Structure 1
Amino acid sequence: MEIFNHDSNIHFLGMRKYTIAIAIFLMVASVALIATKGLNYGLDFTGGVSMVVDYDQPVEIADVRAALEKGGLDHAVVQALGGTREVSIRMQPKDDPAALQAADGKVNLDRIAADVTRTLQAARPDAKLKSRDYVGSEVGAELRSDGTVAAIFVILGIMAYLWIRFERRFAIAAVATEVHDVLVTLGILALVQREFDMTVLASVLAVIGYSINDKVVVFDRIRELFRLARKAEPEEILNRSINNTLSRTIITSLFTGITMGALYFFGGPVVHGFAITMLIGILVGTLSSIFVASPILLWLGVSKKDLMPVTKENPELARRP
């Protein structure tokens, strides 16, 4: 199955000055947006009140969310807990100054819990509060730090793998484009102020893995064509590799995007952030695989000599995985 002819000859490398300039602009703009507007951190990172509510009869999450919104608690995060009769409710009390302070200056859990219980019982009298707790911002700060460290280790691990599997220039090009993909994805989230919670963080890490998969396919074709060609300019090989894998890249991105669209429309509000972030990452990662990764390889000076198998006469000439 192909969308584009396998032997098409679209001159992607001829646009490299413009595509790299756009990529650099998007990265700078993203950094500026993250520094000025910042990410809209959700309850997982900012802390808040967490409650568990039991129902005598099965209940729909949408009904619980609708009851809370009707009572003025429209920013609560509602999730099912292993069944149809128990739900978790998380919310930030900062939107209600009167509910913030107890006698000791801490968050008034009793008042917040009473408000939530009263609101839910107005819609369903069988609602019963099982537990309530307050999670401080220190936990959120630790999660943010751990998420950043996880992303850095993933990117470094990818760099090490590609350095061994291909060649150092491939590793550098891949890491550069991965940083581009992550920054631009986060920049778009900062621009639209989409809530950034643990599911979004998970999708950012998934974007890193998805994006590198596209680039490895192109890189593998580059290595194959370099070894097969007797005399060919690096620009010609890189351009032919992109064209050969173009249908595969577009089809994979299209069907992954359709899957994320289905997850958005049928998976419920809890996974909206994951699906939207993945859709953004798929688009950015696909474009960078076509327009950014190979130009970086070309400017780094990749050549046939770098990818030839080791020979007995001169084993240091080439490196083979």
Structure 2
Amino acid sequence: MMLLRLVPENTKINFMSVRKIAIALSAILLVASIALFAVQSLNYGIDFKGGISVEVQMEDGKAVPIDEVRQVVNDMGYVGASVREFGRQDDAMIRIERQPGDADAQGAVIQRVREELPAAIPGLTFLDGNFISPTVSEELKRDGTLAVTIAVIAVLIYIWFRFEWQFGLGAVVALVHDVLLTVGFFAVTRLEFNLSIIAAILTIIGYSLNDTVVVYDRIRENIRKFRKMPMDELINFSLNQTLSRTLMTSLTTLLALFALFFLGGPAIQGFTAAMIWGIVIGTYSSIFIASPLLLMFNLRREAMIIEDEKDDPTVDKSRPSNPFEQM
């Protein structure tokens, strides 16, 4: 069977020759990301800082006049309100920053929008209005951070038991690298950081982990197969073996994400932007961060070699040959 390849079959790219440059570049970007976050933080959405969300809809399936709605809301005194399509063109979500006063004052804002907006724009109907209090937003921020932390710790435990501790630590360093650079990306671009971005970060962790495990699996397999090959050459050989698969997976995923970014509307642009950045960074980290770290952590091949492969529980003797493993 003929397989589509993005790179020649027997590539011999010396990835390890630039590992020090790649790690130094990543270290600079990580420091810059942390500094930006500390100095100007993120552009948190109302999920994390509290505020008011109102959903409206146009009758007869007509498109919501976004600019007109935004102007009316601004004229009401709520300057800077966000107005975006919400799912369909006849639905829109209005997000207003928390106004001075208690919960009753926020309820009065919702009621005012409910009365004045449909009166100013014929055919527009009010569907729902909610107030996210600062207490709830702080809980959401804490729970989001906790979710990402637990995911990274679970990855460390999984990789550690499946491989060796060097693999587990390398995978976690790569994941933390991806998460922090994604935070830095949002600090630079000032895109709204909300709950959907937390979902994107968790998805990026899963994608990056999958890519890293594929490479690590091939490295472990080659350690047992080529017992006298120097470790840096073996890692290069393994990366070249999996390069076509890595690029194919990344590019096909990016094609779908770019379609969503440009055609999916403003409601999901932040999510898809995070995913696009995460796919690029995740692919980079699996090649230039996770793999070189095995050399820095002094991986010992003796721990990976099983003299009698019949006693190796990780080898499936009954599995038929899979042509995709040669990619």
Shift of residue 131, structure 1, vs aligned partner: 4.7
Identity %: 36
The match for 2:318 is none
DSSP 3-state at the match of 2:169: helix
Shift of residue 55 of structure 1? 5.3
1:309–1:320 contact (8 Å) kept in structure 2: no
The 8 Å contact of residues 85 and 265 in structure 2, kept in 1 or not, is answered as no
Task: Give the distance between the partners of 1:130 and 1:269, measured in 2 at CA.
Answer: 20
Counterpart among 288, 291, 294 of residue 291 in structure 2? 294
- Structure 2 length normalisation: TM-score? 0.84
AA matched with 2:39: T
Pick closer, same or farther for the CA change 1:121–1:258 going to 2, 3 Å: farther
Structure 1 residues 28-59: Cα deviation after superposition (integer angstroms, max 9, x where no partner): 11111111110110011111113344655334
Matched, 1:75 2:72: no
Residue 38 of structure 1 corresponds to which residue in structure 2? 41
Match of 1:47 in 2: 50
Match of 1:245 among 233, 242, 247: 242
Shift of 1:106: 5.7
1:229 aligns with 2:198: no
Instruction: Report if the CA contact (8 A) 2:54-2:128 is conserved.
Output: yes
Distance 1:133 1:218, change over 3 A: closer
Per-residue deviation at 1:224? 1.0
Residues of 1 paired with 2:277 and 2:46: CA distance?
Answer: 22
- C-alpha distance in 2 between matches for 1:302 and 1:50: 52
Q: Which runs of 5 or more structure 2 residues have no equivalent in the other structure?
A: 316-327
The two structures have a TM-score, normalised by structure 1, of 0.86
Instruction: Find the counterpart in structure 1 of residue 149 from structure 2.
Output: 152
In structure 1, C-alpha distance between the alignment counterparts of 2:47 and 2:103, rounded to whole Å: 23
Give unpaired runs (5+ residues) of structure 1.
95-99
Summarize the Cα distance change of 1:156–1:75 in structure 2 as closer, same or farther, 3 Å threshold: same
Superposed, 1:1-321 pairs within 5 Å as: 1-53=4-56, 56-60=59-63, 63-71=64-72, 72=74, 75-78=81-84, 80=86, 88-94=93-99, 100-101=100-101, 107-111=105-109, 113-115=111-113, 117-123=115-121, 125-309=122-306
State the alpha-carbon separation in 2 of the partners of residues 93 and 299 from structure 1: 49
Cα distance in 2, alignment partners of residues 290 and 84 from structure 1 = 41
Distance 2:41 2:19 in 1: 31
The alignment covers a number of residue pairs equal to 306
- AA of the residue aligned to 1:209: G
CA distance in structure 1 between the aligned counterparts of 2:103 and 2:205, rounded to whole angstroms? 43
Query: What is the CA–CA distance in structure 1 between the aligned matches of 2:9 and 2:164, rounded to whole Å?
Result: 26
User: How far off is 1:294 after superposition?
Assistant: 1.2
